[in-house]
Amino acid sequence: MTDAGLRLIAAALAVGLAAIGPGVGIGIVFNGALTAMGRNPEAEGTLRTYMILGFALTESLFIFGLVISLLIAFGIV
């Protein structure tokens, strides 16, 4: 196993594993927002704002994984 090969595995694992949690989390965020919109359509504007905010905060975890993966893949760390 060469260093380059290990780097490829590490980069793939970093981005792949980082996608699991946020994937579930984004699903829960949208699930909650859509359920709430269905029950109370008048609150849609406010809910949409918080939905996008929650989506962004959840997705930023995945972005950390992506950054680490890019750093590994291009040999910066």
Partner 1 sequence: MLRNRLTWIFVGLAVLGVILYVLGIRMTKADLAISAAAEPIWCIGGHLEGAHCSEGTAIPVTNSLIMTILVDLLLLLTIIFGARNMQLIPRGFQNVVEVMVEMFYNFAASVDRKNIAKFFPLCATIFFFVLYSNLFALVPGVGSIGICVATHEAGEAADHPSDVFAGLPGYCGEGHVVPFLRAPSADLNVTLAFALVAVAMIQVFGFQALGVGYLTKFFNFREGFMNAFVGILEFISEIVRIVAFAFRLFGNIFAGEVILVVMAYLFPYLLPLPFYGLELFVAFMQAFIFSVLTLVFMSIATIAHGGHDDHGHGSHEGAELAGQGSH
Chain contacts with partner 1 (rule: CB under 8 A):
42-43, 45-46, 49-50, 52-53, 55-56, 59-60, 63-64, 66-67, 70, 74
Residue 31 or 46: the one with the smaller Cβ distance to partner 1 is 46
41: exposed, middle or buried (Cβ count in 10 Å: 0-12, 13-18, 19+) = exposed
For residue 43, give the DSSP letter.
G
What is d(CA 57, CA 26) in angstroms, rounded to the nearest whole number? 9
Residue 24 or 63: the one with the smaller Cβ distance to partner 1 is 63
Residue 28 or 71: the one with the smaller Cβ distance to partner 1 is 71
